């Protein structure tokens, strides 16, 4: 079990959730996440799988109970399943309560069974449209049938699937109900995410893409009976139940609802940068202390110093004239 003092930030929030980007690479090029011609990091800059194990294990010792693996696309990292297998020891000890991942679904046919064997019980799959042509447009390189086959493979392996859809004005507004009904038929929960001002992606205009989830929720209310759920994970989502279908719908609204008061998470990049807040530029380099000593004392001290800098909240804000608090890094850099 955990044998180090827990991680408590300056606002008395216990840090129990670590999101870890294991690669900045992806086999898609989603327009709101990365540029089409991305320059990826040199492999020497990335934490090795052994270093990722050591880093995550330090966080688990210090009270992290949930580990979410992200990317890029985490399943394109060479040898990544050896890392998942290594993390199972923390599940078996009881120190880690959940090991999960967020994926675009492209590699699930190959890996779903093995993920289930490693103790993964549920996954998030990013899917913004069920229209194959629109899917190719938004992902640039993706093929919808490959993802749908992956989701089916995950279900067959016993994994519970939650669909994450980015709400994009003029793109998937007309699919709000068809996507919801598909999720209901397939047994998936669905979470909508407001587009965030991350990175300079060229000609993609964030202000034009922005579709407020207040509007989306109001449209649900015209068709369904909504029951607010008290469920909180320390994260950004707020949930309702659609009484007619019984399914759970989540709303992640960084721009229309400030969710920071209960934030229990930090984000580690594939190069060992720890971001204490998704919406702030401040980060701590953990790769240097990790590599400085075979003893984890230096690393643990660096982690504690970073958590002591965790801010109260983020600065994202859309106005009619522009965007405040825009982040210069791509979403793929931090891992969602």
Q: Is the pLDDT of residue 124 over 90?
A: yes
From the DSSP assignment, how many helices (H) and strands (E) are in the chain? 11, 14
Per the structure block, which two tokens stand in for 5?
């003092």
Q: Decide yes or no: CATH 3.40.50.150 for domain 17-334.
A: no
Q: Is the pLDDT of residue 202 over 90?
A: no
Q: Is the pLDDT of residue 199 over 50?
A: no
The pLDDT value given to residue 141: 87
Average pLDDT across the chain, whole number: 88
Strand 226-228 and strand 160-167: pairing?
unpaired
Annotated binding site for S-adenosyl-L-methionine: 32, 72, 126, 196
pLDDT in tens, 226-272: 999 987 665 678 899 999 999 999 998 865 445 677 789 999 999 99
Of 123, 109, 13, whose CA–CA distance to 69 is shortest? 123
Q: pTM of whole model > 0.85?
A: yes
Share in percent of the chain as helix, strand, coil (round to 5): 35, 20, 45
Q: Which of 84-93, 126-135, 189-198 has the lowest mean pLDDT?
A: 189-198
Annotated binding site for [4Fe-4S] cluster: 26, 30, 33, 260, 263, 277
Annotated binding site: 19, 26, 30, 32-33, 68, 72, 102, 126, 162, 196, 260, 263, 265-267, 277
The pLDDT value given to residue 255: 56
pLDDT in tens, 69-107: 999 999 999 999 999 999 999 999 999 999 999 999 999
Average pLDDT over residues 123-128: 97
**CA 21/CA 66 separation, integer angstroms:** 14
**CA 178/CA 206 separation, integer angstroms:** 24
pLDDT in tens, 22-72: 999 998 888 878 888 888 899 889 999 999 999 999 999 999 999 999 999
Strand 226-228 and strand 237-242: pairing?
antiparallel
Distant-in-sequence contacts of 76-81, Cβ < 8 A, 24+ apart: 76/23, 76/25, 76/26, 76/27, 76/107, 77/22, 77/23, 77/25, 77/49, 79/49, 80/22, 80/23, 80/49, 81/111, 81/114, 81/115, 81/118
Q: How do the domains of the chain map onto residue ranges? A: 17-334
Annotated binding site for GTP: 19, 68, 102, 162, 265-267
């Amino acid at each position: 079990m955990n044998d180090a003092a827990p991680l408590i930030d300056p606002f008395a929030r216990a840090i129990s959730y670590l999101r870890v980007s294991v690669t900045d690479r992806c086999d898609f090029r989603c327009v709101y996440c990365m540029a089409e011609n991305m320059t990826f990091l040199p492999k020497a800059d990335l934490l090795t799988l052994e270093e990722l194990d050591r880093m995550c294990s330090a966080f688990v010792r210090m009270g992290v109970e949930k580990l979410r693996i992200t990317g890029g696309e985490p399943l394109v990292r060479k040898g990544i399943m050896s890392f998942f297998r290594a993390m199972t020891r923390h599940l078996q000890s009881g120190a880690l309560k959940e090991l999960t991942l967020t994926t675009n679904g492209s590699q699930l046919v190959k890996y779903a069974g093995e993920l289930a064997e490693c103790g993964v019980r549920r996954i998030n799959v990013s899917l913004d449209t069920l229209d194959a042509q629109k899917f190719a447009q938004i992902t640039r390189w993706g093929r919808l049938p490959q993802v749908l086959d992956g989701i089916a493979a995950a279900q067959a392996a016993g994994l519970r699937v939650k669909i994450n859809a980015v709400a994009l004005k003029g793109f998937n507004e007309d699919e709000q109900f068809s996507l919801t009904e598909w999720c209901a038929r397939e047994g998936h929960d669905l979470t909508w995410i407001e587009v965030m001002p991350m990175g300079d992606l060229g000609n993609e205009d964030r202000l034009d893409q922005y579709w407020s989830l207040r509007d989306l929720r109001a449209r649900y209310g015209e068709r369904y009976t909504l029951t607010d759920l008290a469920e909180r994970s320390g994260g950004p989502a707020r949930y309702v139940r659609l009484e007619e279908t019984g399914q759970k719908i989540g709303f992640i609204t960084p721009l229309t609802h400030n969710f920071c008061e209960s934030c229990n998470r930090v984000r580690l990049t594939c190069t060992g940068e720890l971001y204490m807040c998704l919406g702030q530029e401040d980060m701590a380099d953990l790769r240097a202390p990790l590599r400085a000593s075979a003893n984890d004392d230096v690393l643990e001290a660096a982690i504690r110093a970073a958590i002591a800098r965790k801010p109260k909240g983020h600065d994202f804000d859309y106005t009619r004239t522009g965007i405040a608090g825009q982040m210069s890094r791509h979403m793929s850099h931090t891992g969602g």
